[in-house]
Homo-oligomer: A and B are copies of this chain.
Amino acid sequence: MAKDKKMVQAITSMDEDFAQWYTDVVLKAGLTDYTSVKGCMVIKPAGYAIWENIQRELDRRFKETGVENVYMPMFIPESLLEKEKDHVEGFAPEVAWVTHGGLEPLQERMCVRPTSETLFCDFYANEIQSYRDLPKVYNQWCSVVRWEKTTRPFLRSREFLWQEGHTAHATAEEAEARTEQMLHVYADFVEEVLAIPVVRGRKTDKEKFAGAEATYTIEALMHDGKALQSGTSHNFGDGFARAFGIQYTDKENKLQYVHQTSWGMTTRMIGAIIMVHGDDNGLVLPPRIAPTQIMIVPIRQQEETVANKVEEIRARLAKKFSVKADFSDKSPGWKFSEQEMRGIPTRIEIGPKDIEANQCVVVRRDNGEKVTVSLDEIEEKMTEILDTMQKDMFERAKKHRDAHVYDAKDYDEFKRIMNEKSGFVRAMWCGDEACENQIKEDTGATSRCMPFEQEELTDTCVCCGKKAKKLVYWGRAY
């Protein structure tokens, strides 16, 4: 059994090499694999099932706020991409270009969508005529392509899956309210379901989305102290509407420009789950997002009473949980290690002695806690254990995050923290992009966000010493 365990494990430890540990988990937990298509990944069943759960839960939350799903073409003609100046500058250098259709060269080349603002705008320009046509609160689930030089599974790949919401509103106020509303939908989902605490805030102008007036973001801290931008929501004002001529007739019969937003969340969140909750035994999935919540491992499965009892328990639990029983011809120890590597939240061990005593052993994946549970109350106990585990995982991640948030009152302190520790540094900022550039050059940190909950740590900018305008979370980021 010890030998088995060793064979399955064989992953680099987090402390030794975090990047290698991440890659090991992704591959050994069967989430993705490399392909012959450079920079693109295969998402395997164990990984895709997590994405399906993310989709189901987010989609439900979207629809509760009135979102409707649509599908736009995957191609953007070059002339369409170029209509909004900031936007094209932001994306043109990193798109894939289609130049031939069938055997013929195209009259106008098209890119594969890196994001679909331009397509939605082109559509809305025809679709929206009157105030009666507003608001439009549309979303699509699709893949997008950005021609990255260096790639990592889930975190940065040339193609990734996401949803992108695109809305149009009659007033600036309504657009702003929707932008913030969707950020909170993301934040609540990530905290409640993925058990990852986030900082909610606004991006600086330097870091905002190409073409946006304001970008809001949720920022999470990974186990290695690096930040991960986890979801963004953009308010475009009427900038795109002016570029694309999206106008409506208001109740007084006057022509007005619409106000727009967009917001997206991607498969990158699977990377966040790995890097926040994983450990040296592999993946650890929060119960609320786990495709399989319980793995039953029979001990002496060749004995008929064991096989029958395990199947009975599985069937009972299946009414309430996502549960599997592992009857493969591997040893129990091997199965334990596999269940651990794959991050299945709980394991139930049942053998002849347990059956005699009308009980089983339940092991939590996150902290290894073992409890003996009477088979009569297995449903209630599993609910309790999974609920507690979900809460504990959030609290543990929050404690880790909070322990890696540092306040810097002057630039020496800032540089020292960035040099010696890893995590978020909170420091005041004057609002000047030059200071952001200086800080990045000196420390590698970027401004992650100006949190909604502002404080005044000092009254001067941590970098230049001029009057401070905003509290900013800084950090090195994925």
Bound together, the chains give a CA A93 to CA B94 distance in angstroms of 27
A143–B42 contact, CB under 8 A?
no
Partner of A70, one of B44, B94, B119: B44
- Residue contact B93 to A35, C-beta cutoff 8 Å: no
In the complex, the answer to whether A42 meets B69 with C-beta atoms within 8 Å is no
Closest to A70 in B: B48
Residue of B nearest to A30 (CB): B127
Contact A112 B98 (CB under 8 A): yes
Q: Are A119 and B73 in contact (CB under 8 A)?
A: no
Residues of B contacting A33 in the complex (Cβ-Cβ under 8 angstroms) = 123, 126-127
Considering only CB atoms and an 8 Å cut-off, how many residues of chain A contact the other chain? 51
Whether B77 lies near A37 (C-beta < 8 A) is yes
With A and B bound together, what is the CA distance between A97 and B68 in angstroms? 32
Q: Is A75 an interface residue (CB 8 A)?
A: yes
Starting from the known contacts A74-B145, A96-B98, A97-B100, 7 additional A-B residue pairs (CB-CB under 8 Å) come to A33-B127, A37-B77, A43-B71, A45-B138, A74-B74, A98-B98, A101-B147
Q: B112 near A102 (CB under 8 angstroms)? A: no
B103 x A96 contact (CB < 8 A): no
Taking CB atoms and an 8 Å cut-off, the chain A residues in 142-182 that contact chain B are 142-143, 145, 147, 158-159, 161
Task: Specify which chain B residues have a CB less than 8 angstroms from the CB of A93 in the assembled complex.
Answer: 102-103
A72 touches B42 (CB 8 A): yes
Chain A residues at the B interface, C-beta cutoff of 8 Å: 33, 35-37, 40-45, 48-49, 51-52, 68-77, 80, 93-103, 110, 112, 119, 122-123, 126-127, 138, 142-143, 145, 147, 158-159, 161
Instruction: Identify A37's interface contact among B51, B69, B75, B102, CB under 8 A.
Output: B75
In the complex the two chains form, is B99's CB within 8 Å of A70's CB? no
Instruction: Please give, as numbers and ranges, the residues of chain B lying within 8 Å of A119 by CB-CB distance.
Output: 35, 37
Q: Which of chain B's residues has its CB closest to A108's CB? A: B38
Closest B residue, CB atoms, query A161: B71
Asked if residues A48 and B75 are in contact (CB atoms below 8 Å), the reply is no
Q: What 5 pairs across the A-B complex have the smallest Cβ distances?
A: A40-B73, A45-B68, A97-B100, A101-B147, A43-B71
Alpha-carbon distance between A51 and B44 when the two chains are bound, in angstroms: 24
Cβ-defined contact, B98 with A70, below 8 A: no
Q: How far is the CA of A33 from the CA of B123 in the complex (A)?
A: 9
Q: So how many copies of this chain end up in the complex? A: 2
For this complex, 13 residue pairs linking A to B, each with C-beta atoms less than 8 Å apart, are A35-B72, A35-B123, A36-B80, A37-B77, A40-B75, A48-B70, A75-B159, A98-B98, A98-B99, A99-B99, A101-B147, A112-B112, A142-B143
Q: Chain B contacts of A145 at CB under 8 A?
A: 74
Give, as a whole number of angstroms, the nearest-CB distance from A114 to chain B: 10
In the complex, are the beta carbons of B100 and A37 less than 8 A apart?
no
| Alpha-carbon gap, A103 to B303, bound state (A) | 64
**What is the bound-complex CA distance between A40 and B122, given in angstroms?**
13
CB distance from A150 to the nearest CB of B (A): 13
Chain B residues near A74 (CB, 8 Å)? 40, 74, 112, 143, 145, 159
Write the nearest CB–CB distance from A119 to chain B, whole angstroms. Answer: 7
B-side contacts of A99, CB under 8 Å: 97-100
Question: In the complex, what distance in Å separates the CA atom of A123 from the CA atom of B112?
Answer: 23
Most-contacted residue by chain B among A41, A69, A127 (CB, 10 A): A69
Q: B43 to A70, Cβ gap below 8 A?
A: yes
Instruction: Give the nearest-CB partner of A95 in chain B.
Output: B102
Q: Report chain B residues within 8 Å CB of A35.
A: 72-73, 119, 122-123
Chain B minimum-CB-distance residue to A157: B73
Which residues on the B side are within 8 Å of A138 (C-beta)?
A: 45
A159 to B142, CA, bound (A): 13
Q: Which of chain B's residues have a CB closer than 8 A to the CB of A76? A: 37
Residues on the B chain within 8 Å of A75, using CB: 37, 40, 96, 159
B48–A71 CB distance below 8 A: yes
Determine the distance from Cα of A112 to Cα of B111 in the docked complex, in whole angstroms: 11
Q: For the complex, give the distance between the alpha carbons of A99 and B95 in Å.
A: 11
Chain B residues whose C-beta falls within 8 Å of the C-beta of A112 in the assembled complex: 74, 98, 112
The answer to whether B96 and A101 have CB atoms under 8 Å apart is yes
CA distance A351 to B72 in the complex (A): 40
CA distance A251 to B158 in the complex (A): 40
Whole-angstrom CA separation of A36 from B97 in the bound complex: 17
| Residue among A80, A102, A119 with max Cβ neighbours from chain B (10 Å) | A102
C-alpha gap A96/B112 in the complex (Å)? 11
